[in-house]
Amino acid sequence: EVQLVESGGGLVQPGGSLRLSCAASGFTFSSYSMNWVRQAPGRGLEWVSYISSTSSTIYYTDSVKGRFTISRDNAKNSLYLQMNSLRDEDTAMYFCARDKTDDSSTGYYYYMDVWGKGTTVTVSS
Amino acid sequence: DIQMTQSPSSLSASVGDRVTITCRASQSISSCLNWYQQKPGKAPKLLIYAASSLQSGVPSRFSGSGSGTDYTLTISSLQPEDFATYHCQQSYITPYSFGQGTKLEIK
């Protein structure tokens, strides 16, 4: 079964750090790009970061640039998100999601086809 | 950055109804538009990718259409399990962006 399982969330004070992990199973992790997406309580989804299969390409949303670092260990089938200088507004459920590419005659299309159940991050004093 | 605007924000409908949700991008996204369904306390589930391609295992009552800046998700005949929140997402360029969501409720 294709599965993603996040861990590492918790309660942290503003300015603190957390490292989220996402364990992948049931597919060839090293062949896929990955994403982190978050959802603040009662809010919509917000894409946070992307990493390509070989870690050669990385993107972040502006609000986390310089504070968050995405990484992966293909030997361990794991994705990570190091979160530093946490702010109240980083409070959210954090999901990891597999990035899939559809190579059609009209171009390349990217979408997130497998999601974990999420891990909760609460930033509060 | 590309802004995604969904309408309506919420919708009440009955089992058997035909429902349409709209998503508008702030610039052309060339059909790089995905739709997800999310139930309370659960992860999003992919329904439609590339504007109109049905994800494997998703019932055929779900369909997507559109081009350029305007896209729609249609549910042809609502079933009880379809009451959820629906999100559109552009994957044309990073930062990827989502609409604010449309909550579909039982009338």
Q: Which residue has the higher pLDDT, B86 or A108?
A: B86
Q: What percent of chain A has pLDDT over 90?
A: 94
- The answer to whether the peptide bond before residue B80 is cis (omega within 30 degrees of 0) is no
pLDDT tens for each residue of A20-76 = 999 999 999 999 999 999 999 999 999 999 999 999 999 999 999 999 999 999 999
The helix/strand count (H/E) of chain B reads as 0, 11
pLDDT tens for each residue of B36-84 = 999 999 999 999 999 999 999 999 999 999 999 999 999 999 999 999 9
Confidence of residue A105 (pLDDT cuts 50, 70, 90): confident
Instruction: Give me the pLDDT at residue A103, please.
Output: 86
Nearest Cα residue in chain A from B102: A44
pLDDT tens for each residue of B14-40 = 999 999 999 999 999 999 999 999 999
**Other beta carbons within 10 Å of A50:** 24
What average pLDDT does range A80-96 have in this prediction?
98
What average pLDDT does range A118-124 have in this prediction?
98
B103 pairs with which residues across the strands? Answer: B10, B85
User: B-contacting residues of A 2-21, CB under 8 Å?
Assistant: none
Place of tokens 């974990």: A116
Residue A116: is its pLDDT beyond 90? yes
Residue B8: is its pLDDT beyond 90? yes
Instruction: Give me the pLDDT at residue A63, please.
Output: 97
Instruction: Give me the pLDDT at residue A107, please.
Output: 81
User: Using CB atoms, which residue from A35, A109, A113 is nearest to B32?
Assistant: A109
State the Cα–Cα distance between residues A18 and B22, nearest whole angstrom: 37
Place of tokens 């409720």: B105
Residue B49 contacts A where some CB pair is shorter than 8 Å: yes
State the Cα–Cα distance between residues B53 and B40, nearest whole angstrom: 25
For residue B100, which residues of chain A lie inside 8 Å, CB to CB? 44
**Other beta carbons within 10 Å of B40:** 7
Q: Distances in Å between the alpha carbon of B1 and those of A1, B25, B97, B98?
A: 36, 10, 8, 11
Contact A109 B50 (CB under 8 A): yes
Q: Which residues of A79-118 are buried (b: 16+ CB within 10 A; e: fewer)?
A: bbbebeebeeebbbbbbbbbbbeeeeeeeebbbbbbbbeb
Instruction: Give me the pLDDT at residue B5, please.
Output: 97
Instruction: Give me the pLDDT at residue A83, please.
Output: 98
Shortest Cα distance, chain B CAs vs residue A1, angstroms: 15
pLDDT tens for each residue of A5-16 = 999 999 999 999
Nearest Cα residue in chain B from A60: B95
